[in-house]
Each structure stands twice: as C-alpha cells, then as structure tokens.
Amino acid sequence: MIAPSRVSKWPAILFAVCLLYAVAVASIGWHHTVLDFLGFRQAQTALTAYFMVGQPPRIDYETPVVGPPWSIPFEFPIYQWIVAAVVTYCDTPIVETGRAVGLMFFLLTLLPAYRLLAWLGFAPGHRLVALGMFAVSPFYIFWSRTFLIESTALFFSMSYLAAALPSVRQPGPRPTLVAVLLGVVASWVKITTWFVFASMILLYLCHVGWSRLRDHRRSAELGRSALLAMLLLGIPFTAGWFWTRFADEQKALNPIGRHLASHADVMRHWNYGSLEQRLTLDTWGAILAPAHYALGHGIVLALAVLAVCIARRHGRIALACLAVYPLAPLVFTNLYAFHEYYSYPNNVLLLAVAAVGVVALFERGGHYRLVGSLGLAGFLALAIWRHREYYYPIQAKNCDELNAVVQAIQRTTAPDDVLVILGCDWSSELPFSSRRRALSIPFWLNPRLEKMSDYLAIEPPYRVGAVVIHTAWQPFERSAVEESIHKAGFVAQYYRVDDEYEVYAVGKAMRSTRGPRIE
C-alpha cells in the first residue's frame, strides 16, 4: 500500500502539471486570427465584443453584420461584456483578451467540478486526478481558447449543477435560491448547454422521487420534490424562454434578422434538423467524432466502462452520464452534427466516465491500483498525442488569407463606413477583420445585383463605404457590378484585391432617402 504522504502529494503534483500543460498548449497561436476553426462563429462573437468596447452594457447589443438596425442578439452577452470591459479599461488586444477570458472560465469550471466531486464522496486526491484529466483534454484546451462563449456557459452550468444536486437531497431556501439563480444565468448564456445539466438534475430528481415513493413513510415529501423541480428547472427554463423571446423581438426589427429568429424556418431547420437526419449513421458519426478529441481515443470510454464494472464502484454515476449524453444531440441534432464545439457540455460527461473508471480502480486497491495508474498514464499520453495530431496544426497556422482584402477596405473606407458584402453569406469574418459594420447578404436570400439600390440605401448617420464581392461564390462581372452601383446613384472605384475578392469603393453621387428593402 502507498504511504499516506505519497498519496496526498502525487495527485496535487499531477494536477499542477496538467494545469501548466493546458495553459502552455492553449497559448499556441495566441496572437493569430480568429479564423483558425469555424471562423464564422468566432468572428460573430468577436464582432459583438468589438462594438461593445467603450460603450455601456446593453442587452439589445449590436452585431453589425446584416445591416441596420444592428441588434440581432443570440446569447446573453456576459462573455462579451467581460471581454469589452477588459479591453476598455486595460487597453488590451481584443482577440487575445477574448481568448484569455475563455480560458479563464475553463479554469474556473474546475471549482464547481471539485465541489461536485466532493459531494459525490470522492477523496481529495482522487478529485484532483479527475480534474487533471479534464484539464489535459485536447478538445477542451482548444475550444476554451477560442473566441466563443462555450467555457462561460459551461462554468455557469457546472456551478448550477454543483449547487442544485445537494439542494435536492437536503433542501433549504438559501442553497435552492443559489441554484436557481445560477440556472437562470446558465440558461441565458446558452440554453443548449443549460439543457445538458438540467437533464442531469431532472434525472436525479426522478431518482430521489422514486426512492421516496418506495419509502411509504416519506411519500409526503414527493410534493417537495415536485416543487423543487419547478424551482430548479422551471424558473431557469422560463428565464431562458423570455430571453429568447426578447432576442427574437430585436431580430424582427431587422429585415434580415427576422429570418434568424428562433421560430423562423431557416433557424428551426438549422437548430433541430430533421427526423431523417436523426436516423442516419453519418449524422451520429459527426456527432460522436468530438468524443475522440475529448478522450484522446474512443476506446478510452469502453475501457472506462469496463473498469467501473470490474471495480464495482460508481456504476450509477457512469450510467447517469451515459444516459444524459445523447439527449441534447437528439433535440438539437443539426447543431451538433455541423458544429464540433456544440459537444462542449456533453463531452464533460464522457470525461467524467473516464475519470470514474480510473478512480474506481484506485479505490479498489491492490493490483487494481496498478491497472488504474496504467490507465491514467495511457489517457494522458493519448490526450497529448491527439492534440499534437489534430489541434496543434490548427493552432500553429495563422489564417491570414483575408489580410489583402482587409487592407484594401481599410485604405478605401473610413472607420464608420458600412460594407455591403456579397458572396460571404452573413459571415462576420470580413467585418470583424476590417473593424467595419456591414450588410452581408445571406446566401439563402439569393444576393443579386438587381437589388443593389436597396443594399446601398443605408440611412444616416451611416453611409456605405465599399461594396465587397467574394468572386469565388458570387462571380459577378465587373461591368455589371459598376452599372448596378451607378444606377443606385453612387460612383464606384474598382480594386482587384486577389483571386477571390473585389472591392468597389463607393462615393455618393445622389442621396437616396429610402431605407434598405430586403426580402
């Protein structure tokens, strides 16, 4: 048996090493652009934060990518407010600040996770082992240093879970209130992340309720369980619903934004997908792929389940995690299939199973401890290998392919000018990179030159400074573009930037009084 002094020290040392490794690896490509992976979504978050800098907080915040009015809110902007505040008061670069705030929330998530492990009865050393495994996960290292809200949503959702579960077993006004408030914030920040942890709370409520139902002497407490469910789940859900309704009302004020409301056909299909999609192997292959990046390899999960079965410990915890894991992908199928980062909350559950498998072997003692040590070493080795093989090339490459067009835009427009962009969908990549507001026409609205007069009719105090054509997707003839601009009452100066982009600097020849009409 290992001496107590060694037992108390090595998990702390391991945890410290894992933290140092996570921070060091996350810093790779720290000063690169946000276009490394899924730049569409990273740039959207960054554009929002950029236009908050130096401004008072607003819940009807601007994301100026689809024209005026500029507010098309999605998530409650806690992450963006923090980034903007740091940039405002510390004068730090916005990209690096966004990455630092994301990484900070990832590390802060270890605190409620530690509390949750303590409530579950794990020894302090074993808690540190589990958290060390979480810290070195290549999936979490990469996505936590991106310009996204994922780690912020996970922090509040994990805090919600850590506060709610104990309050179910031992209800009290103060712990229940804390859990409800954390749940409200979590649902505001990202409802899909909240859904994962709310599902775990619901499962535990059902477990406790069933246990009390079997104990006839405590059957009167079922009403208390029902009340707790209404408080812990109902209030956060209602708060999230009200936020979504408010966000939809703001989007409805924008001619393009109304298509981005949660009830719009475009977004309903994008969020939920179809029944046929849920029944295809390709869909579930895409959904399960991030599990490899979180665990190092899919075989880790199978071995962890085997370890739990052999050690005969913590089987309920592993089973609960596995039961909750597919629920969110079943609801938000298309989001999970197309966006790797949507697995950010779910992969915590798989890492929990892996950690429980290792800890179960440690707790069993004897030769099982040696097997657990080998399993832990194997997990760490696979995590390092997976990051090196998959994420390192992404982080190491600075995606600066927009530099030429950005420089052309900044030379030919003023900081307050608006860009009209055709051929980039409604991506924020170009607006954020050039630090300009934009009217970027989505593909599903069929951008066409016949509508140029409507695109250019931006009312004061804003004015169009340039029309940008991404010729790889919208191969318009130069003469046709210039003619459409002239017919709208503007003069244009042509700049051929590279093989993919053309910039037409726009000057006003005749003031139009109409507002944009986009259908």
Packing angle of the helix pair 299-311, 346-364 (nearest 10 deg): 40
Packing angle of the helix pair 367-386, 281-295 (nearest 10 deg): 110
Q: Which residue has the tokens 């194997």?
A: 378
Is the pLDDT at 358 greater than 50, yes or no? Answer: yes
Cis peptide before 69 (omega within 30 of 0): yes
Helix, strand, coil fractions of the chain, as percent rounded to 5 = 65, 5, 30
Angle, alpha carbons 23-352-299 (nearest 5°): 95
* Sequential DSSP letters for 241-295: HHHHHHHHHHHTTSTTGGGGSTTSHHHHHHHH--HHHHT-HHHHHHHHHHHHHHH
Bin 63: left if φ > 0, else alpha if -120 < ψ < 50, else beta: beta
CB neighbour list of residue 403: distance below 8 Å, 6 or more residues apart: none
Instruction: Tell me how far the alpha carbon of residue 192 is from its chain's centroid.
Output: 10
Contact 200, 183 (CB under 8 A): no
End-to-end CA distance of the chain: 73
177/192 Cα distance (integer angstroms) = 22
Is the pLDDT at 512 greater than 70, yes or no? Answer: no
pLDDT in tens, 82-105: 999 999 999 999 999 999 999 999
| Banded pLDDT at 6 (limits 50, 70, 90) | very low
* Residue 310, Cβ density class (10 Å: 0-12 exposed, 13-18 middle, ≥19 buried): middle
Instruction: Tell me how far the alpha carbon of residue 303 is from its chain's centroid.
Output: 29
Helix, coil or strand: residue 72: coil
Per the model's pLDDT, the better-predicted residue between 495 and 393 turns out to be 393
Is the pLDDT at 307 greater than 70, yes or no? Answer: yes
Contact 193, 76 (CB under 8 A): no
Contact 442, 451 (CB under 8 A): no
CB neighbour list of residue 25: distance below 8 Å, 6 or more residues apart: 141, 387
Structure tokens at 113: 């996770």
Lowest model confidence (mean pLDDT) among 51-65, 85-99, 255-269, 500-514: 500-514
Pairing of strands 490-496, 418-422: unpaired
72/366 Cα distance (integer angstroms) = 59
What average pLDDT does this structure show over 503-512? 75
Cα dihedral value 418, 64, 449, 482, nearest 10: 20
Helix, coil or strand: residue 500: coil
* Residue 229 φ then ψ, to 5°: -60, -40
Nearest to 248 by CA among 225, 266, 272: 266
CB neighbour list of residue 216: distance below 8 Å, 6 or more residues apart: none
Structure tokens at 271: 């969020």
| Banded pLDDT at 233 (limits 50, 70, 90) | very high
pLDDT in tens, 133-150: 999 999 999 999 999 999
| Strand order, beta sheet including 418-422 | 437-440, 418-422, 464-470, 501-508, 490-496
pLDDT of residue 1: 38
Is the pLDDT at 468 greater than 90, yes or no? Answer: yes
Q: Which residue has the tokens 């048996």?
A: 1
Is the pLDDT at 514 greater than 80, yes or no? Answer: no
Is the pLDDT at 224 greater than 80, yes or no? Answer: no
pLDDT in tens, 242-266: 999 999 999 999 999 999 999 998 8
- Give the 3-state DSSP-derived string for 23-68, with helices as H, strands as E and coil as C: HHHHCCCCCCCCCCCCHHHHHHHHHHHHCCCCCCCCCCCCCCCECC
- For the question of whether the overall pTM of this predicted structure is more than 0.95, the answer is no
Distances (CA, A) of 260 to 74, 177, 194, 256, 493: 9, 34, 21, 7, 33
